[in-house]
Amino acid sequence: MSETQVMDPDWLAFHPNPKAPGFKLPKGAVDAHCHVFGPTPEFPFAPERKYTPCNAGKEQLFALRDHLGFARNVIVQATCHGRDNRAMMDACRAAAGLARGIASVGPDVTDAELAEMHEAGVRGVRFNFVRRLVDATPKAVFRGIADRIAKLGWHIVVYFEAADLDGLVPFLESLPTVIVVDHMGRPDVTKGTSHPDFQRFLQLMQENSNIWSKVTCPERLTADGPPYDDVVPFAAEVVTRFPDRVLWGTDWPHPNMKSHMPDDGALVDFIPRIAPDPEHQQKLLVDNPMRLYWA
């Protein structure tokens, strides 16, 4: 490898020593949004990546899982690995049934490669529309991939910015699988829950029973910083209105955080603020992810 893979000078590494959460997770809880980065050189970052992170490998992820009290992980392919899913698949295999994966694939992916991913634990693909993270993929290409992975019983995770939702609605409504939207479609929390952009997102979920949401990333959405009071009304509204279609995850190791690095234990303590009763917590953390990823 000729190029260097040294992390970006302004890269914030994950919290070295997260606190033990005060909130006791229900038995069998799933961290349904996290990543692995490398470690390099075994799993090099992709040449087309938009950032170079620190290494954050599977052993560290599994140690965090155990420390926080989760039973399982859903590992989402990070854009720094492009469409080279080996690090994610290796982590899924090493978890021996306790992790599932979300892959990033191109139109040239073969049926044999998809079958190998399924065997490793992959149950979905991610379509990423965030321009700072990836070069654009034509919707027709995504549509072709959607038709192929639908046959495997997989679903589609989509990541986009709030301003792009309107233009994406016809495409999202044309997809043949369950769709999971990352981080509630990234609302601008300074505008309040009554803003038309967030109301449009709620309407999309209301009108499409196959659309789910991750109520994740208060640390990314907040304008005020910890303890993320400004994000609570957004996530609480999604959990209350769509209790059977929400997922929660840490987003460890928190790519591209600039303002601060969250304490993952404090993130777990955020959960009862958005899902205050045990019934909603059980759905959010256990029943919903188990139905989507392990059924």
Residue 90 or 251 with smaller CB distance to ligand 0GY: 251
Q: Which residues are catalytic?
A: 251
* Integer CA distances (angstroms), 156 to 99, 167, 287, in order: 17, 18, 19
Residue 51 or 277 with smaller CB distance to ligand 0GY: 51
Residue with tokens 């208060």: 218
The alpha carbon of residue 79 and the mean position of all alpha carbons in its chain are separated, in whole angstroms, by: 12
256 lies in the binding site for ligand 0GY (CB under 6 A) = yes
H-only helix segments in the chain:
58-68, 86-94, 111-120, 139-150, 165-174, 196-207, 218-221, 232-241, 264-274, 278-282, 288-289
133 lies in the binding site for ligand 0GY (CB under 6 A) = yes
Least Å from the CB of residue 35 to ligand 0GY: 6
Residue 261 or 282 with smaller CB distance to ligand 0GY: 261
d(CA 142, CA 12): 32
- Give the angle subtended at the CA of 207 by the CAs of 206 and 208, to the nearest 5°: 100
125 lies in the binding site for ligand 0GY (CB under 6 A) = no
Phi-psi region of 151 (alpha: psi -120 to 50; beta: other; left: phi over 0): alpha
Sole binder of ligand 0GY in the list 182, 185, 198, 221 (CB under 6 A): 182
Least Å from the CB of residue 77 to ligand 0GY: 7
78 lies in the binding site for ligand 0GY (CB under 6 A) = yes
79 lies in the binding site for ligand 0GY (CB under 6 A) = yes
Q: Which stretch binds ligand 0GY (CB under 6 A): 86-94, 196-204, 248-256, 268-276?
A: 248-256
Least Å from the CB of residue 256 to ligand 0GY: 4
- 88 Cβ partners below 8 Å, 6+ apart? 35, 36, 75, 76, 77, 78, 81, 101, 102, 103, 122
Least Å from the CB of residue 133 to ligand 0GY: 5
255 lies in the binding site for ligand 0GY (CB under 6 A) = yes
Q: Which residues bind ligand 0GY (CB under 6 A)?
A: 35, 78-80, 133, 182, 251, 255-256
